[in-house]
Structure 1
């Protein structure tokens, strides 16, 4: 069995994230990275997109969630993105990391990672 790994790297979006008054009123940058594993044998043999996981569909759903949503916690945003990353029935592992740049004064960013095996 061949295991395909899709990596979505540095998807840069803006959303409402946080619970402080200024965070509730102003969108902030977030950077999303996702890793998605699925068996690729059938896609490799048939060369048919119906037998593969469509990363464009996943990315579009992630963009809509982030841009249209409001989140208090990185945990909730990351969990919702992980749910999208693992929706396809062929996916057996998914990991999502969300970075919140400039969240701390002396750090480049704060990030949270969630992963699941199905």
Structure 2
């Protein structure tokens, strides 16, 4: 058990375009989405180090999210959100991850519709 609270990485407002939805127009055209990811990990080694190998590499995680989102099609926001959550929690050091994805202009009078999902490592 870590003596200190987990470090928290926040990937804020990652703006991507993907195929999301079930309507004909959504299947034919990419739409704007905004992804927010929160990842908790102990960072015990990184706190005392200058070595990138001692830290959780948020650049790699972000690249994996971008590649997955841009190269796939999604009917449901739930599936897209779960896929991104799976990428965010993929490293063995991760103790908790939360993902929120906004589908912009999904409703006529709203800025967006968002889906939030979280995961906690079992104790």
**TM-score strictly above 0.5:** yes
SS, match of residue 10 in structure 2:
strand
**How far apart, in 2, do the equivalents of 1:92 and 1:15 lie?**
28
Q: Deviations over 1:66-112 (max 9, x none)?
A: 11010000000000000000011000000000000100000010000
Q: What is the aligned partner in structure 2 of residue 114 from structure 1?
A: 117
Q: What is the aligned partner in structure 1 of residue 8 from structure 2?
A: 5
Tell me by how many angstroms 1:13 deviates: 0.3
Q: How many residues align?
A: 118
Structure with a larger share of its residues in helix: 1
Matched, 1:90 2:115: no
Q: Deviations over 1:24-81 (max 9, x none)?
A: 0000000000000000121111222111100000000000011101000000000000
Structure 1 runs (4+) deviating above 2 angstroms are: none
* Cα root mean square deviation, aligned: 0.7
User: Taking structure 2 as the reference length, what is the TM-score of the superposition?
Assistant: 0.94
**How far apart, in 1, do the equivalents of 2:39 and 2:15 lie?**
18
User: Taking structure 1 as the reference length, what is the TM-score of the superposition?
Assistant: 0.97
Matched, 1:33 2:36: yes
Specify which of 12, 18, 22 is matched with residue 21 of structure 2. Answer: 18
Unaligned runs of 5+ in 1: none
1:63-102 → structure 2 map (5 Å cutoff):
63-102=66-105
